[in-house]
Amino acid sequence: MSDQKILELFKNGKRSKAFKELYKLYPRIEKLILSKGGTKADANDVFQEALIILNRNLEKSDFTLTSSFYTYLYSVSRFVWKDMQNKFSKQELLKLSTDEVSIFHNVLEEQKYQFAEKAFRELGERCQQLLQRFYLKKMSFKDIAKVMQFKSEKIAKNQKYKCLQKAKDIYRTTLKTVQS
C-alpha cells in the first residue's frame, strides 16, 4: 500500500488499519534495533513508540510528512532507541539537522507522556477504568455511573476528579524524582 493511501486511512479515522499497514515496515526496524544491540522486545517497544509519535504528529495540524513512512519511522526509531540508551552526546545534538531536531523534540515530549502513562497505570483498577471510559470512550457521566454502579452521576463526576488529581500527584512526584 502506498504512503498516500496509508495517510488517507489516518485521515479517515481508520487508524487500526493504518497501523496494520505500517507494521509491514516492522521487520526492517527490528533489524535496525537488533543491529544496535537491542533485543526483539526492545525493537517491539521502540517501534510502538515510533508509531505513537507518528500518530501524535499526524494529529497536529501543522505537521506534514516530508519523507516516506519508512524513512520517518526509521529515524524516529533510531532516536527513540538512542534516547532509551541515553546515548546522546552534546556534539551529536549540535550536529542534528532541523528535521532531526524536531524528531528529537518529539521524543523528549513523548517521554513526559510516558511518565504520565506510568502514573496512570499506578492508579487503582477502578480509577483507571473510570478515566478511560471518560477520556477515551467519551462516555457521559450518566452512562459511566450506570456501568460502574455509582449511585449518581454526580458521584461519578466527583470520583473522576479525584482520580485525575491522584494521577497528577503521582505524575508530579515521578517528574520530580526524575529531574533531581
Partner 1 sequence: MEKYIENTDLINAYLNNTLSKNEKLIFEKRLEIDSEFKQLYNEQLAILEGINRVGLKAEINAAKQSYVRGKWMKYIGISVGVVLVSVVIFSLVFKTEITKNTEKINNQIEAITDVETVEKSLKKLIEDPKELKEVIEIDDEIATSRKATRNDVSIEEVVNKEAVSKEKSLVKIDEVSQKTKPEPMATELKAFFKLNKKQPQIIEVNTEKEFTVTCKEGTILTIPAKSFVDAKTAKLVTGIISLEVTEYYKLSDMLIGNLTTKADDKQLETGGMLYLDANKKGKKLKLKKGRRIQMTFNSKGKKGMQLFSGEENNEGVNWKLQTEKKESIEEDVEVAFSTIEIVPTYPGCENLSNNDKRKCMNDAINKIVSRKFDMEIAENLGLKGKQKIVIDFRIDKKGNVGEVNARASRKEVADEAVRVIEFLPQFIPGKQRGKPVRTRYSLVFNIQLEGENTESNSVVFVKSDKKFIEIFEKRLDSIESSNGILGTISNDHIARYAFATTKLGWINCDRFVNSKKQKVKFKLKIKDPNGTNVKMVFKSMSSILPSKKFADEFDFGLLPIDEEVIVIAIKKTKDKLYLAKKEMQTKRNPDLKLDFKEVTIQELKMELENLNSSF
Contact residues for partner 1, defined by CB under 8 A = 1-2, 15-17, 19-20, 22-24, 26-28, 31, 35, 48, 51-52, 55-56, 112-121, 131-132, 135-136, 161, 164-165, 167-168, 171-172
**DSSP code of 7?**
H
Residue 66 Cα distances to 58, 73, 120, angstroms: 12, 12, 34
Q: Which is nearer to partner 1, 52 or 147 (CB)?
A: 52
Q: Which is nearer to partner 1, 93 or 112 (CB)?
A: 112
Q: Which is nearer to partner 1, 34 or 93 (CB)?
A: 34
**DSSP code of 25?**
G
Instruction: Report the nearest approach of partner 1 to the CB of residue 89 (Å).
Output: 23
Instruction: Report the nearest approach of partner 1 to the CB of residue 146 (Å).
Output: 21
Overall size of the chain counted in residues:
180
Nearest C-alpha neighbor of 56 from the set 3, 12, 109: 109
Q: Which is nearer to partner 1, 112 or 146 (CB)?
A: 112
**DSSP code of 23?**
G
Nearest C-alpha neighbor of 133 from the set 152, 156, 167: 156
Q: Which is nearer to partner 1, 60 or 90 (CB)?
A: 60
> What is the spatial distance between Cα 83 and Cα 28, in angstroms, rounded to a whole number?
19
> What is the spatial distance between Cα 157 and Cα 141, in angstroms, rounded to a whole number?
6
Rg (CA), the chain: 19
Instruction: Report the nearest approach of partner 1 to the CB of residue 169 (Å).
Output: 10
Instruction: Report the nearest approach of partner 1 to the CB of residue 122 (Å).
Output: 11
Q: Which is nearer to partner 1, 24 or 105 (CB)?
A: 24
Instruction: Report the nearest approach of partner 1 to the CB of residue 131 (Å).
Output: 6
C-alpha cell of residue 76: 524516529
Instruction: Report the nearest approach of partner 1 to the CB of residue 33 (Å).
Output: 12
